[in-house]
């Protein structure tokens, strides 16, 4: 219940802030997340897309506050071949709430250049891995791994919540924006003490802002 209240409160804040924003639009594009295990070894790499509303509030002069609410979908398929052949598919659904302080660089032309940085709050909706194993004895499907499913003690494999800190840059051309950002995961999302998991994310986007 606390997790649901947190998400609803975040949505309400974004919606209320958007009413006073000088710019409001929609952003969509490619997203890639890399999960690191322990001291920085790569555990998984997922690819997909993100889409959602964005808003911009001018603070003073070239400074503004940019924020958004994105649905994020990412997936990966892998095949392992040996004595047996195993095919796995991982899907990840999440909500990202970035809050960025932006600085627009004066260029003296219709094309604007801006840089930004700040946190992004992430809420996992669903993350699952399914497998199919084929051998000389036949084919079988192991149980689906549900990373957010809780056991009898209320514990899950991974936490739904994460906070990232990112930087990025973009180009404004009338109502269009082309953006590139990278976020570093700040929290250990693994609920086990055996190892830590952090998730970084790259986004390449196109936005239409009024």
Indicate the pLDDT class of residue 19, thresholds 50, 70 and 90. Answer: very low
Determine contact, residues 98/70, Cβ cutoff 8 Å.
yes
In a domain, 100, yes or no: yes
What is the C-alpha to C-alpha distance for residues 105 and 114, in angstroms, rounded to an integer? 6
Number of domains in the chain: 1
Dihedral angle over CA of 52, 117, 23, 177, nearest 10: -70
pLDDT score for 9: 52
What does the mean pLDDT of the chain come to?
A: 88
CB-CB contact of 68 with 97 (8 Å)? yes
Residue 174 Cα distances to 54, 88, 108, angstroms: 16, 44, 14
Sign of CA dihedral 141, 190, 42, 202: positive
Residue 50 lies in a domain: yes
Residue span of the structural domain in which 170 resides: 2-84+92-125+161-209
**Whether the model pTM is above 0.75:** yes
Provide the CATH number for the domain around residue 193: 2.40.160.20
């Amino acid at each position: 219940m606390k997790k649901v209240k947190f998400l609803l409160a975040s949505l309400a804040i974004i919606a209320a802030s958007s009413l006073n924003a000088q710019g409001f639009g929609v952003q969509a594009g490619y997203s890639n997340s890399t999960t690191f295990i322990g001291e920085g070894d790569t555990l998984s790499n997922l690819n997909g897309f993100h889409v959602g509303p964005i808003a911009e509030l001018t603070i003073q002069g070239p400074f503004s506050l940019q924020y958004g609410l994105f649905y994020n979908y990412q997936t990966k398929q892998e095949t392992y071949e040996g004595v047996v052949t195993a095919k796995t598919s991982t899907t990840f659904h999440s909500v990202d709430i970035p809050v960025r302080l932006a600085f627009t660089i004066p260029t003296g032309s219709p094309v604007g250049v801006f840089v930004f940085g700040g946190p992004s709050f992430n809420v996992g909706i669903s993350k699952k891995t399914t497998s199919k194993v084929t051998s000389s004895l036949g084919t079988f499907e192991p149980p689906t791994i549900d990373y957010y499913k809780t056991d009898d003690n209320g514990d899950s494999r991974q936490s739904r919540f994460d906070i990232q800190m990112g930087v990025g840059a973009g180009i404004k051309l009338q109502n269009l924006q082309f953006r590139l950002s990278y976020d570093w995961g700040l929290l250990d999302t693994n609920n086990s003490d055996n190892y830590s998991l952090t998730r970084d994310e790259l986004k390449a986007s196109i936005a239409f802002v009024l």
